[in-house]
Amino acid sequence: MTDHPSTLTISDAAAALRSGATTSVALTQASIDAADRHDADLGVYLARFDELALAAAAKADEELAAGVDRGPLHGIPLGVKDIIAAEGGPTTAQSLILDPAWGEGIGDAVVVARLRAAGAVITGKTTTSEFATGMPDPEKPFPIPRNPWNPAASPGGSSAGTGNGVAAGVILGGLGTDTGGSVRLPAAWCGISGMKQTFGRVPKSGCVPLGYSYDHIGPMARSAHDCALLLQVMAGFDPSDATSVDVPVPDYTAGLTGSLEGVRIGVDLLAGVAETDPALPAAMAAALDELAAAGATLVPVSLPLYQELTDATMIGLYGEALAYHRGDLAGRWADYGAGARRMLAVGTLVTGADFVTIQRVRRVGQRRMAELFTDVDLVVTPSTAVAAPPIDLTETVLSIAPIFTPIWNATGHPALCVPAGFSATGLPLSMQIVGRPFDDAAVLATGFAYQQRTDWHLRVPPLVTRTPTAASATSRG
């Protein structure tokens, strides 16, 4: 195999494995080589599992050669965000607070165990904001994740290492977590695809919580098709998670036809919410043209209770986070990074009355959204109003004003962010696709249809040398 992983989608790599054009060991070694080249500059990993990954890849090759095929993820190198437990190394949540025995003692999180059962190769634990919140603290002994399109720019958070790792070709896909947009924001700013599925669709057992009623573990990869392949394995009820919902899991790839005939898409460009990148209006107009060309009917809509639901997420999640961190914040304040302790301390300002009001707003918002979705099948917005800003390590909090993801954590709707162009400075722009609860398949099908008509998701950062193969040059994943 001479190709670099960044030229491949998971679906490309799966096809190449089965045609004999590559092996899992070759894919995994290419992933390791890419990490050797880029990890020091980009901060992809907290911990690398090189030897374990190569051993798992060799086993995958043996099984495939023997006719044992565990599915499209068999032999595929994937990363796991370091707040999700995975055997092979400790789970630290990128913090001095968490006891390393936490991860070592519980084994694989449910979702990681499912990936391994599907034959995936786990390459390591990827970087995150501390406990999935706050900005990186250079005073703490952890990598600072950076954007592969411009290392001076933010990769987004908190699933930064999975996002920049996929974009830079260090991994073909992986796991992030999303409480207010922490899968979708790094997907948007790193130029890949990332999904927050319906709340309760994927069990969170073995994941360090941030906001109990807002958290999701979501797939991150180059394409919507790849996210569908990941979600197919990740989804499904597990009794170990009290928020897991026992709803049948459909075939998420069955509806990936490329056609949007008969689909009504509500469009809210949220132009009045925040100052936008000058290139965003044209990028969104072009994206909407592609959806219409695929057969969709576009309908202007206005999202109900947008600001109230955004506030309900950003205030409510820190009230919930305080329940987890209260003891450690009181006793080990200085061990937290400056960004994490400032954000978590916000929870002390959330009163019982506030929390009750937040839950009422969420319920009303869910009812209003249900009314909206009787008129349309999906909603499209920008993912963010701006491209990735410069990294400023003197700041401890990232402004959420230009970020359009938190509203859907309040309501639990599935939301997918896909690349939709570039700013004048060469940084990715992104579109967000939202569906009805448990209609994740329609969200993925819409992202797939869009990506059949565009190639933004196949663009590679300048730091990555790309040598296309026939498969990667023709396939849109």
Count the Cβ atoms, other than its own, within 10 Å of residue 360. Answer: 11
Query: Is 158 assigned a catalytic role?
Result: yes
Asked if 397 contacts 417 with a C-beta cutoff of 8 angstroms, the reply is: no
Residue type, 347: G
214 phi-psi bin (left φ>0, alpha ψ -120 to 50, beta other) = alpha
Q: Which of 6, 24, 154, 182 is catalytic?
A: 182
- What is the distance between the alpha carbons of residues 220 and 204, in angstroms, rounded to a whole number? 16
- What is the distance between the alpha carbons of residues 142 and 226, in angstroms, rounded to a whole number? 30
Residue 307, burial from CB neighbour count under 10 angstroms (0-12, 13-18, 19+): exposed
DSSP per position, 14-56: HHHHHHTS--HHHHHHHHHHHHHHHHHHH--EEEE-HHHHHHH
Strand pairing of 216-221 and 173-178? antiparallel
Q: Which of 24, 31, 81, 95 is catalytic?
A: 81
SS3 106: helix
Q: Which of 6, 129, 158, 159 is catalytic?
A: 158
**Nearest CA to 326 among 337, 318, 338, 315?**
318
Q: Which two tokens stand for residue 390?
A: 């410069």
Query: Is 259 assigned a catalytic role?
Result: no
Sheet holding 173-178, edge to edge: 45-48, 121-126, 77-81, 173-178, 216-221, 193-196, 415-422, 428-435, 378-382, 264-267, 297-300
**Nearest CA to 333 among 96, 49, 53?**
96
**Nearest CA to 227 among 84, 414, 52?**
414
Asked if 4 contacts 462 with a C-beta cutoff of 8 angstroms, the reply is: no
Positions marked active-site: 81, 158, 182
